[in-house]
Structure 1
Amino acid sequence: MSVGLVVVSHSAKIAEGIVELAGQMAPGVRIRAAGGTDDGGLGTSFDLVMSAVVDADDGDGVVVMCDLGSAILTAETALDFLDDELRARVRIADAPIVEGAVAAAVAAEVGGALAEVVDAAEASAAASAMTSDQNSPEEAVESTSSDRRGSDLSSTTLPPSSERPEEPIGANATLINPSGLHARPAAEFVRLASTFDARITVNGVDAKSLLRIMGMGLGIGSSVRVEATGTQAQEAVDALTTLLASGFGE
C-alpha cells in the first residue's frame, strides 16, 4: 500500500495530464484526476472529488492537490462529507499543482507516510525556486565570498581531524540514455537514492530531490559526479553509478 494522490483542477485535461506525468514517476501509486465539472466543462465538481478521493485511498491516506482557490473550496467541502475514518487520513497540500504532484508521487512511491508525502509536495515550491535561482546575482556574491573565505584558510587554525566534516565518497559517470536525468529516469534515480542511509549529491545537488535533479537539465553525454557521506555512502555511490551506466534501460 502507499499514500494516494488526487489532482483537482478546473480543467479535466489539465488534471489528466498531471496524473499521466506523475504516474510515469510513480507507477505504483494510486493517482486520480478530478478535473472539470460533471458535464466536462471548466470548473470543479464535488462528486468527482469525492469519488477520486475514495478511489485513491489504499488505506495509507490521500494527498489532494488543487490548482485554484475555488478548487480548494470544493475539495474542502467534499472532505466534510467523507466518513470520519477516511477524512482523518486525507490532506490538502499547499503546493503548486504540477511540481507538488510530481514530488508527492515520488515520495509516496518510495514508501513515505502521509505527513512525509505532504511535506514533499509543499517543499516543491521552495525547491523549484532554488533551482531557478541557481545563477542569481546573490548566489554569485555568496560564491565569491566563499572563494574568498577559502583563500584565507592558510591563516586559519583547522579543527582536530576528529572534528572535521566526513570526507565524501564519490565516483563519476556519464549519462548515456537519450533522455538523461529527466522524467522517468530522474524519478528512478531519486527512488533508488532514497533507499540509502546516506547524504547523497549529484553535481552538488540533493540526489533525493526530484525537482532539483530535473532542474539541472542533464542530458545525454553529461558528466555526473555522485558523492555521499553516511552509513551507506559506498553502497549508495556504487548502486547509483551502476544505474547511470545502465542507461536506465532506454
Structure 2
Amino acid sequence: MAEPTTALLLVSHSAALAAGTAEVAAQMAPDVAIRAAGGTDDGRIGTSYDLVEQAVTGLLDEGGGAVVLLTDLGSAALTAESVLEMADDDRLLLADAPFVEGAVAAAVAAQGGATGLAVRAAAEEAATSFGPVDREDEPPPLETAAPSQPAAEALTRTLVLRNRLGLHARPAAMLARKVGEFDADVQLNGIDAASILAIMGLGLTAGAELQVEATGPQAAEALDAIEADVEAGFGEE
C-alpha cells in the first residue's frame, strides 16, 4: 500500500495571505491536501489557536500521513507550536521556512511523494535565498568514501524554450515533478532540476537555451520526457 501523501497547513496572520498562498501551492501540487488557517476567529489580523487546531485535526483525520506546517511571522509560529505541543503527534512537523517560497517548494516535494521530513527539508531549503538554515535537531551529514567506480558518463541535451512566458511557476513545477519520476540526477543550466525555486531563479524566457544533463539508470528516459514537455511548450502557447 502506498504511503499517505504529506499534507500542508499554512498559518498566517492574514486569512487572505494564507488562502492565496494555498491557492498558488495547489497549482503546483493538485494531489496534495493544502489547508489555510489565517486570521482570527472573527476575521481580524492575527492568529487563532482554534483555527489551527481544527485544520490540523482535519488533515490528520483526512489523510493519515504527515502534516507540515508553515507560518508567516513569529506569533504564528508560537500558535502552531502550541497546537503541536498539545497534539503530541510525531506526524506534525513545523518548518522554519519563508512562507510563500517554502509552501511552493514543499507542495512540489509532497506531490512527488516525499516523506514529511523531506517535505519539511524542501521548504527550509527555500530559505537559502536569505541565508543557510541550521537545524540543531539534525545531525551533520555523514562523510562518504570516494566511489571505487568511476562516475557514470552524463547524457546531455540542448533544448530551446518554446512557451512565451518561459519557466515561470507552472512549467517550473511541471519540470521539477517530471524529474522526480525518474531514477536520475538531472541538472538544468547548472542547477538541480528537481528544485522548482532553482528553476524559477534562472529567469529563462521564450527562446532561451536549456542545457540539460542527466546521470543515473533512467537518465535517457528523463531527458526524453523533459524534451517532450519543452517541445510541447508545457501545454502553453
* TM-score range relative to shorter protein: 0.7 to 0.9
- Tell me the SS of whatever aligns to 1:227: strand
Corresponding residue number in structure 2 for 1:146 = none
Total equivalences in the alignment: 215
Corresponding residue number in structure 2 for 1:104 = 106
Give how far 1:113 is off.
0.8
Give how far 1:179 is off.
2.5
Q: Select which of 171, 182, 200 maps to 2:157.
A: 171
Larger radius of gyration: 1
Cα distance in 2 between the residues matched to 1:239 and 1:129: 33
Give how far 1:172 is off.
1.4
Q: Select which of 66, 83, 91 maps to 1:61.
A: 66
- Letter of the aligned partner of 2:86 in structure 1? F
Corresponding residue number in structure 1 for 2:83 = 78
Q: Select which of 16, 19, 32 maps to 2:22.
A: 19
- The two structures, once aligned, show a CA RMSD in angstroms of 1.6
- Tell me the SS of whatever aligns to 2:8: strand
Asked whether the 8 Å contact 1:207–1:213 carries over to 2, the reply is: yes
Identity score, percent: 53
Alignment TM-score, normalising by the size of structure 2: 0.86
- Letter of the aligned partner of 1:36 in structure 2? G
Asked whether the 8 Å contact 1:186–1:213 carries over to 2, the reply is: yes
Structure 1 stretches (4+) deviating beyond 4 angstroms? 162-165
Cα distance in 1 between the residues matched to 2:165 and 2:114: 27
Give how far 1:129 is off.
4.7
Give how far 1:54 is off.
2.1
Asked whether the 8 Å contact 1:226–1:241 carries over to 2, the reply is: no
**Matched ranges for 1:9-158 at <5 A:** 9-57=12-60, 58-82=63-87, 84=88, 87-126=89-128, 128-129=129-130
Unaligned runs of 5+ in 2: 132-147
- Tell me the SS of whatever aligns to 2:19: helix
Cα distance in 2 between the residues matched to 1:9 and 1:224: 37
Structure with the higher fraction of residues in helix conformation: 1
Q: 1:129 to 1:242 in 2, by over 3 A?
A: farther
Alignment TM-score, normalising by the size of structure 1: 0.82
Unaligned runs of 5+ in 1: 131-161
- Is 2:181 the counterpart of 1:195? yes
Q: Select which of 201, 207, 231 maps to 1:215.
A: 201
Q: 1:112 to 1:163 in 2, by over 3 A?
A: closer
